Amino acid sequence: MNDVAPSDAHIRLGMFEAACDILAAAVIVYDKNDCLVFASRQVLRYFPIPPDTLTPGTRLRDVLGAIFDSGVRYGIAPDQRHKAINREEWISTRISAHWREQHETVERLGRDRWIHFRKRRLPNGYNVTTLVDVSEQKKQEEQWRLDLERIALTEEILETLPSPMVIKDRNLTYIAVNKAFCAIYDTSAESVLGRTIWALADAESAGRIEASDRAVLETGEPFTLAEHIIRADGSDLYVVTRKYRIGAPGHHAVVTVMEDLSAFVTGERAVADGDDALLRVPGGFVEAQNCFDPVRDAERRLLLTQLNPEDLGAMAGRRVLVVTPNPRIEDILVGEFKARGADCCAVTGLREYEAFLDLAIRHALSVDLVVVDDNVPDHGEIVANGHGIATRLIVPDGIGSDFMRVLVEEHELLSENESPLGDIVTPVSLSDDWYIATDIATMLPAAIGDVEVLVAEDNQINQFVFSQILEGMGISHRIAENGEEAVMLWRKHQPRLVLMDISMPVMNGIDAAMEIREAEKLTGTHTPIVAVTAQALNVDMQNCMDAGMDDYITKPVSPDMIEAIYRRYAATRPEKSVA
């Protein structure tokens, strides 16, 4: 039997020490009799004990006693650390843990030092203990925890703020929106986050908003603008929009805050110190990113075109009286005049008009302009006896609950060039008459390509984006809100191109495309159908191609994207094909 150590034992020991140094780990090995076999140099970094304590052959109890005497206490519950600790009890507890087959714990040594203990009992009775300093890791974890708490607190504050607020990253992508902002447009945060303004607003508004965002992002100079917004419910919102740059270089973000001034503008409460004057903003409130209401917009344009441009351009500080029995006309005109800086109110008829002027005279207040609705009884008397006040008579043409019906009827009677309303795109209801023809030559001439592009899209904001892009390109179009309506409008108008959203209610875009292709087998025609998808997944693209679609584009759409698709498929009128 040879009890002499191998000649290369010191080499192996040196390599083991070097490995411990590289790994920044302390290693202690005890034999089955709890006597020290090996302790790396790193142990002294963790325990300020005499070096000779780590001599091979030292008992575990003596090593633990030296550690206790050095003032180090580990393995003690946090709620017990303030109590006096008996030396023998502590050593006995550590020996008990030492004899477990496996034991692992993270202990705090001192104020900001954390050690990861691992103990393992081998089958031969030897015990291997490793100690690794995880202080930096614990600090990072603590920092992450604090950061998460701050983020959660920030998100909660953001959500509960009454003022609408959005945050965009350096690519001007929405990364945070609060409930107040979503409430304006009757949408959810999920439909906004991760997108840009080009997917949420018309091209003109998107360009203006992006320009101010980039100026703030590049210069760091705050931006302020008074804006008039039409909410999703049709009500007016007057805000002062402020934009700021935050974050470190390379990680800048743009924060937009909207301060609601509607109550001041509409005169629901005094501005300050009992002053009942309305808030005046130099230059007035500009039209902002609105929830587009085509009916209200058509009504608004019809009314404003009957007023002198000079009157509309010099409203700041003037007093205007509107005479109309129609609440909708009152709402539109009063809102427009106030947005241009005028003091404005409304009365419903001749009697109220005369009472109002008498009251104004008694208080030495002058009225600069009177706008009279011709639906007011005795409106001729108001115009004739103007009391020296500039008076304008307007003809609203049935503005009210039946306005869209009247608008559709008149628009269908007039050609695009003759229509006084311009290129107003009117939706066609599912109750409209339509027809099926088995021969393209038998269709009415107006039904063959009178609409260049048919857009099938259920999201109102996306509908508005498509309309603005196509109108800007001078392309006639129709909007369908679901796949079933898209098929109906295709049958009626035979458009040159169909932009088909894939996900829609009633009938999805895939099924709608398949129904159109089936109908085309009877007519011998082929209408290019381009899928519009939220995500360009391979499986989605294959489904579109299988349904007979010609191409696809992904949201958010842009003017360049639509123009490229239009030039590719619809720039020239398609020829009739023979089946």
pLDDT at position 16 over 80? no
Task: Domain 293-394: give its CATH code.
Answer: 3.40.50
Return the CATH fold of 161-265: Beta-Lactamase (3.30.450)
Q: How far apart are CA 12 and CA 479, in angstroms?
A: 81
User: pLDDT tens across 522-547, in order?
Assistant: 778 899 999 988 765 665 778 888 88
pLDDT at position 428 over 50? no
Sign, CA torsion 488/489/492/498:
negative
Q: Which two tokens stand for residue 295?
A: 């009916």
Q: Which two tokens stand for residue 216?
A: 């703030």
pLDDT at position 291 over 60? no
Same fold yes or no, 293-394 and 427-569: yes
For residue 571, the model assigns a pLDDT of 72
- Cβ atoms of 481 and 431 closer than 8 Å: no
User: Exposed/middle/buried for 88, CB within 10 Å: 0-12, 13-18, 19+?
Assistant: exposed
Whole-number percent of the chain with pLDDT over 70? 77
Query: Per-domain residue ranges for the chain?
Result: 9-138, 161-265, 293-394, 427-569
The CA distances from residue 369 to 8, 65, 328, 345, 366, in Å, are 109, 99, 20, 11, 9
Q: Which helix (H) or strand (E) holds 176?
A: strand 174-177
My answer on whether omega of the bond before 556 falls inside 30° of 0, hence cis, is yes
- Cβ atoms of 373 and 396 closer than 8 Å: yes
User: pLDDT tens across 83-107, in order?
Assistant: 778 888 888 888 888 788 887 888 7
Q: How far apart are CA 237 and CA 288, in angstroms?
A: 10
What is the amino acid identity at position 136?
E
Mean pLDDT of the region 181-206:
79
DSSP secondary structure, 79-112, as one string: GGTTS---HHHHHHHHHHHHTSSEEEEEEE-SSS
Q: How far apart are CA 397 and CA 302, in angstroms?
A: 9
Check residues 462 and 222 and name the one with the higher pLDDT.
222
Pick the CATH number of 9-138 from 3.40.50.2300, 3.30.413.10, 3.90.1150.10, 3.30.450.20: 3.30.450.20
Q: Which two tokens stand for residue 487?
A: 């098929």
pLDDT at position 221 over 80? yes
Check residues 295 and 144 and name the one with the higher pLDDT.
144
Contacts 24+ apart (CB under 8 A), 233-239: 233/186, 234/293, 234/296, 236/262, 236/266, 236/335, 237/184, 237/262, 238/262, 238/264, 238/265, 238/266, 238/285, 238/339, 239/164, 239/288
Of 189, 291, 177, 191, give the one whose Cα is nearest residue 503: 191
Check residues 397 and 177 and name the one with the higher pLDDT.
177
Q: pLDDT-derived band of residue 341, with 50, 70 and 90 as boundaries? A: confident
Q: Which two tokens stand for residue 469?
A: 């892009």
pLDDT at position 406 over 80? no
pLDDT at position 315 over 90? no
Place of tokens 């179009």: 477
pLDDT at position 412 over 70? no
Q: How many CA atoms lie within 13 A of 289 on its CB side?
A: 21
Task: Domain 427-569: give its CATH code.
Answer: 3.40.50.2300
pLDDT at position 575 over 50? no
Check residues 12 and 220 and name the one with the higher pLDDT.
220
Q: How far apart are CA 234 and CA 239, in angstroms?
A: 16
For residue 14, the model assigns a pLDDT of 65
Q: How far apart are CA 312 and CA 304, in angstroms?
A: 8
Q: How far apart are CA 251 and CA 424, in angstroms?
A: 44
For residue 448, the model assigns a pLDDT of 45
User: pLDDT tens across 54-89, in order?
Assistant: 888 999 889 888 888 888 877 777 666 667 788 888
The least confident of 75-79, 326-330, 493-497 is 75-79
Q: How many CA atoms lie within 13 A of 436 on its CB side?
A: 10
Mean pLDDT of the region 36-43:
84
Q: Which two tokens stand for residue 155?
A: 């998100």
pTM (2 d.p.): 0.37
Mean pLDDT across the chain:
78
Q: pLDDT-derived band of residue 279, with 50, 70 and 90 as boundaries? A: low
For residue 128, the model assigns a pLDDT of 87
Sign, CA torsion 521/522/525/529:
negative
Whole-number percent of the chain with pLDDT over 90? 13
Tell me if residue 287 falls in helix, strand or coil. Answer: strand
Among 130-144, 246-260, 393-407, name the most confident range: 246-260
Of 485, 487, 486, 467, give the one whose Cα is nearest residue 477: 467
Tell me if residue 9 falls in helix, strand or coil. Answer: helix
Cβ within 8 Å of residue 219, ≥6 positions away? none
For residue 454, the model assigns a pLDDT of 94
DSSP secondary structure, 535-574, as one string: S--HHHHHHHHHTT--EEEESSP-HHHHHHHHHHHTSSPP
